[in-house]
Chains A and B, each alone.
Chain A
Amino acid sequence: MRISTNTIYQSGISKISTLQAEQSKLQQQISTGRRIALPSDDPVASAQALEISHAQVVNLSFADSRQSAQIKLNTLESSLTNITNLLVSTQSALVGAGNGAYSDLDRSFIATELAGSLESLINLANTQDASGSFIYAGFKTDTKPFITNASGASYAGDSNQQFIQVDAQRLMAANASGDNVFQAGGNDVFTTLSNLVTLLNTPITNAATQTAFNTGLATAIGNLQGSVDNVLNVRAAIGSKLNELDALDTAGSDRALQYSKSLSDLQDLDYASALSDLAKQQTIMEAAQKSFVQTTQLSLFQFI
């Protein structure tokens, strides 16, 4: 085949510039550590990568939600611990109240202690979290849920549950409304305590008042035990939710790890092969340049 001088130069240049383009691409891959810079580099892999990185972001946002839920539930848990302790110490204070040797004065001391407990309990029931929201108010987190009144406290919150999406398929209630914690099933702990204070402050003057006192005390102790049981139930439920969150977190971070690994498999550069490719390209490049120069140096005109 006849080769024109133009072709000799043209093909030499076009080979070298192709090699340069390949080298620059390898160089870019090596410096970014990524095999795919644009979807067109590998449409199938980048489609998968987009899907996985979307799943990764969604997974991450559930992790954030779980953290919110965890903070809320931990706040509840520690507040409920305080409430349990208060109620248990109130119960032990009551143990002596039925003692027949106690005078009205002795009982009034207990009444005073109980009044203090009632006040503490109302304060605890109006616990606010770090951002100032009342944790026992249902949806009405801006409203102080328990207002002291003559018969204990009235509830100004509602009984709604705030759910948080803690996983793709799991909505978890992250609050406990005051009426469920303190007034469940008509057993109002504030009324119980308030009644006890009144009862203990009522002098025992005859057999009738003694009987009324005994009956009242027995009822109150029973009610108080019911309230303690209820608080413990709520705590247990929260504890199991916290456990579940831990399990979901573990599953979530496992998934995150899998996603990162898949992404890395899809997008990241195999450095060993890239560097060996680069070395190979350099050898070819040198050979191409050398042969180009040598070929073009050959000219009959040098001999004329």
Chain B
Amino acid sequence: MASNILSIGSSALNAAQVGLSTTGHNIANASTPGYSRQVVVQSAAQAQNFGYGYIGQGTEIAAVTRVYSEILAKQAVNSQAVSAGIDIYSANLDSIENMLSDASAGLNPALNDFFASVQSLSANPNDTPTRQSMLSYAQSLVNRFHSASNRLNEVRDDVNTQLTSSVSLVNSYAKQIARLNDVIEKAINAAGNPPNDLMDQRDQLVMELSKQIKTTVVPQNQGSYNIFIGNGLPLVVGTVTNSLITTSSPTDAGRLEVAYQNKTKTTVLGGDSLPGGAIGGLLQFRSESLDIVQNQLGQIAVTLAETFNAQHVQGLDKNGNPGGSLFSIPDPAVSFSSYNTGNAVINSKIVDARAITSSDYRLQYDGTNYKITRLSDKTVQSFTSLPQTVDGLSFSQASGTMLAGDDFVVRPTQNAATSLGLLFNDASKLAVGGPVLSSSSNLANTGAATLGALTAGSTYASSPLAGAIGITYATGIPGTLTLAPSTQPVTVTSGGTTTTFPAGSPITYTSGATITVGGLSFAITGAPANGDQFTISPNTSNGSGDNRNGLLLAGLQSQGTLNNSKTSYSDALSQLVNNVGNKARELKVIGATEAKVLEQATAAIQSESGVNLDEEATNLLRYQQAYQAAGKMMQIASQLFDVLLQLGQ
């Protein structure tokens, strides 16, 4: 009997010891990340039947298990991926927002200053310092475009770096999880009990992995985890791992894409198949914000430069020469896919700066048709031949042979802001004067008619007047105007009706009607007398007070120019800044919500699995007392045995 009591006491002592160890382990790991508290599963030992009943045989430890909820962990893993994705998107977008909205270094002030200087030039066309200062403002506008675009390129490089490090983390976690899978499976097979701490470590790795990429865990019966990333790509299966790699985009060597590599092949993954986590957030940031902001910036730069140039060449500079282009604008960047089999070289040019969009374009050839896709909204246009013009952009084949499956990407705006430049720095070349002059023979004319201001249309610069055109009025019913020389047809618009007169024929005179010839428009108003003469002539002098083109240049600021002449430069720029601001705001709001969700999921896990030191203190006391009680019991058993021994003395 006594030996039975002793063994019961010893089992109790043993159990109390295990309890103390487990409690100590919990206390020691109270702040270990990913640690789940462990509990002792204790049960009564098999009782012994003595005929009159069962006598207990003490206690035994069934297991030491961790308190862990798979459902809560799954929630946290999902939430972690979403939250990490938004955080990294938001952090990257913040740097763009800071750059664009900076009151002193932003683009809006530079654009405003530039046009203020053009305005001031138009008021003081002959003032050399004013001319020089307008050029300086043009240069600083160009510099501002450069620095904004360079900053965006830096952000682009940062994205590449972050992608590379995220991908290497993913691969490293995958290997560690596979190794743990192996160890855990072996441990369970050998001892039948789960190795709690190793399992915690593996769960912690899954949690870390989900910060980098959306992760789904499928536990297997033998204790190992199968890990799927993104939209279901197997990363870890048992002890086998697949990996992610970063690889240059086939159409843009400077752009890293994430690719999935298994035993047989490598597949480039689009942003759509990798949602969530740092990788998803980065890809989303790049395609939804960075690309768009940089392209829009480029679009503003291109349209501003092209429209300014187009007006500038209409004018006459201080030396009496027709204006040249002020801004140099890079041609659209064309890249061909590294998978192309043909050797065709594609050229692209900006034909109409007002019509260009901020989108990139893809040109694909299927053997018969050329398919041009506007990538922003996936609008496809199909052609049977090149060259073609889409959205103000020309596509032509410069050389080589195009084969079926060949693929090109045209980026008209992405790097435009980086490559913008000024073509001259001689202030006398600013074409502030008008290209044509009008005069009435003030002294000789006897009638009261006046020749109004001349307007040169956009086509004038390409075919300017060769010499003066004299206009003579002859009385009659109706009165007529005769142009000499008259080599081009003349259109007369009056009260919304346009009449075209062939070259050489007299024109019916209507006071105030708009007369257009060779891209020039003017009006004669009043009652002319027979023989009155008016002249329009090319301006070849250096009319230093002539500011007509200057006024038109300054007027560009308030005109609709971008997006088919609908949006002004500054509106486009404001929209750009506001879009970034709105997105940043949205991300902050969603980010805060997701952070809250993650916090709650973590709190729920902690509530279930976390160590509470007060609870452990209670357990310590409990097991300490159990230990003391078991000891006392063994002491009593020993005393009982002594009683038996004394019987024999």
Contacts and interface: CB of A to CB of B under 8 A. Distances in A.
B219 interface: no
B588 interface: yes
B610 A138 contact: no
A139 to B, nearest CB: 3
Contacts of A43: 578, 581-582, 585
Interface string A152-182: 0000001110111100100100110001100
Interface stretch (B269-277, B417-425, B437-445): B437-445
The interface centre, meaning the residue of A10, A40, A133, A142 with most chain B CB atoms within 10 A of its CB, is A40
Interface of A: 1-7, 10-11, 14, 38-41, 43, 46-47, 50-51, 53-54, 57-58, 60-62, 64-65, 68-69, 131, 133, 137-142, 158-160, 162-165, 168, 171, 174-175, 179-180, 183, 186, 299-301, 304
Contacts of B584: 38-40
Interface in B108-127: 108, 112, 115-116, 119-120, 122-127
A299 B123 contact: no
Contacts of A140: 541, 543-545
Contacts of A4: 37, 606-607, 609-612
Given A141-B126, A300-B617, A171 B551 contact: yes
Given A7-B603, A39-B577, 12 more contacts: A4-B37, A5-B612, A6-B611, A38-B94, A43-B581, A46-B578, A61-B120, A141-B544, A159-B439, A160-B543, A168-B558, A301-B617
A59 to B, nearest CB: 11
Contact of B119 (A41, A65, A133, A179): A65
The interface centre, meaning the residue of A50, A69, A138, A186 with most chain B CB atoms within 10 A of its CB, is A50
A23 B544 CA distance: 60
B576 to A, nearest CB: 10
Contacts of A50: 108, 574, 577-578
9 contacts: A4-B610, A7-B606, A7-B607, A39-B578, A53-B108, A54-B570, A64-B119, A179-B443, A299-B617
Contacts of A57: 112, 116
Nearest to A141: B545
Contacts of A2: 607-608, 612
Interface string B593-625: 000000100110011111111100110110000
Given A2-B612, A7-B606, A61-B115, A164 B30 contact: no
B331 interface: no
B31 A139 contact: no
A137 B557 contact: no
B544 A142 contact: yes
Give 3 closest A-B pairs by Cβ, nearest first: A4-B610, A39-B581, A139-B543
A299 B618 CA distance: 11
B39 to A, nearest CB: 13
A64 B116 contact: yes
Given A133-B545, A142-B544, A3 B612 contact: yes
B555 interface: yes
B288 to A, nearest CB: 16
Nearest to A132: B126
Nearest to B570: A54
Interface residues of B, number: 65
A186 B108 CA distance: 52
Nearest to B617: A300
Given A39-B97, A54-B112, A304-B621, A64 B546 contact: no
Contacts of B125: 162
Contacts of A38: 94, 97-98, 101, 581, 584
B546 A40 contact: no
Interface in B82-130: 94, 97-98, 101, 108, 112, 115-116, 119-120, 122-127
A301 B23 CA distance: 13
B547 interface: yes
A145 B439 CA distance: 17
Contacts of B443: 179, 183, 186
Given A14-B599, A54-B570, A299-B617, A68 B123 contact: yes
Contact of B442 (A41, A69, A159): A159
A292 B452 CA distance: 82
Given A38-B98, A39-B577, A162-B546, A6 B123 contact: no
Interface of B: 30-31, 37, 94, 97-98, 101, 108, 112, 115-116, 119-120, 122-127, 433, 437, 439-440, 442-443, 541-548, 551, 554-555, 557-558, 570-571, 574, 577-578, 580-582, 584-585, 588, 599, 602-603, 606-614, 617-618, 620-621
A194 B238 CA distance: 114
B507 to A, nearest CB: 24
A1 B577 contact: no
A163 B547 contact: yes
Given A38-B581, A54-B570, A58-B558, A65 B613 contact: no
Given A64-B120, A179-B442, A299-B613, A160 B30 contact: no
A200 B578 CA distance: 78
Contacts of A168: 558
B447 to A, nearest CB: 12
The interface centre, meaning the residue of B31, B557, B581 with most chain A CB atoms within 10 A of its CB, is B581
Contact of B606 (A6, A137, A164): A6
Contacts of A46: 101, 577-578, 581
The interface centre, meaning the residue of A131, A139, A140 with most chain B CB atoms within 10 A of its CB, is A139
Given A43-B581, A57-B116, A300-B618, A158 B558 contact: no
Contacts of B440: 159
Contacts of B127: 131
B218 to A, nearest CB: 28
B119 A61 contact: yes
B574 A54 contact: yes
A133 B124 CA distance: 10
A175 B545 contact: yes
B126 A68 contact: no
Contacts of B585: 39-41, 43
A158 B439 contact: yes
A299 B116 contact: no
Nearest to B573: A50
Nearest to B587: A40
Contacts of B554: 165
A253 B98 CA distance: 32
B206 to A, nearest CB: 19
A2 B557 CA distance: 65
A39 B555 contact: no
A269 to B, nearest CB: 15
Given A4-B606, A299-B614, A299-B617, A131 B119 contact: no
A61 to B, nearest CB: 4
A68 B126 CA distance: 12
Contacts of B31: 5-6
A263 to B, nearest CB: 12
Contact of B126 (A131, A159, A186): A131
